Structure 1
Amino acid sequence: MANTTSAKKAVRKIARRTAVNKSRRSRVRNFVRKVEEAIASGDKAAAETAFRAAQPELMRAATKGVLHRNTASRKVSRLAQRVKAVGA
């Protein structure tokens, strides 16, 4: 347990930040899941719409430090590839 005043404050800050990051990560997962469900259903229009909504969320997560930039870019790239393949 934290003893000093500054350590107690740090614990509070970390708890707040963790909650924010958790909600952001959850939000990203929901957007990605919607894209994957649209891909699974074979609906190209829905997949493209869901992908256009998911892409900025992934990049925002990278900007905020929830995901690494390369991880977000990789996820966007792979989702784009799968969305593109739906029509083929």
Structure 2
Amino acid sequence: MANTAQARKRARQAIKLNKHNSSLRSMLRTSIKRVRQAIDAGDQEAANTVLRSTASIIDRVADKKIIHKNKAARHKSRLSAAVKAMAS
């Protein structure tokens, strides 16, 4: 348990920051699932639209260092490849 006032404050701040980061991570996962659902439904136009918004969310989360930039690039690459594969 935190003994000093500074340590207690840092513990409070850590809880608040953890909730915020968890929210961003959840938003990221949800947006990725939306793209996957559009791909599974076979709706290419919807998949392209959702992919654009998801790429933006992925970049935002990576900029805030919630996920690593390489992981963000990997997600975007795999999702766009899956959407492009629908055309074939």
Same fold (TM over 0.5): yes
**What's the RMSD between the two structures over aligned residues?**
0.6
Q: Aligned letter for 1:65? A: K
Give the CA deviation at 1:87.
Answer: 1.4
Q: What is the aligned partner in structure 1 of residue 7 from structure 2?
A: 7
Instruction: Point out 4+ residue stretches in structure 1 off by more than 4 angstroms.
Output: none
- Please give the secondary structure, in 1, of the residue aligned with 2:67: coil
In 2, Cα distance between the equivalents of 1:17 and 1:86?
39
Identify unmatched segments of 5+ residues in structure 2.
none
TM-score, structure 2 normalization? 0.97
Unmatched segments (≥5 aa) in structure 1: none
Q: Post-superposition shift, 1:32?
A: 0.6
**Amino-acid identity (%):** 39
Distance in 2 (CA, whole Å) between partners of 1:86 and 1:8 is: 53
CA drift of 1:80 comes to 0.5
Match of 1:14, SS state, is helix
Number of aligned residue pairs: give it: 88
For the residue of structure 1 that corresponds to 2:71, the secondary structure is helix
The 1-side partners of 2:68 and 2:20 are apart by: 16
Distance, in Å, in 1 between the alignment partners of 2:26 and 2:45 is 24
TM-score, normalised relative to structure 1: 0.97
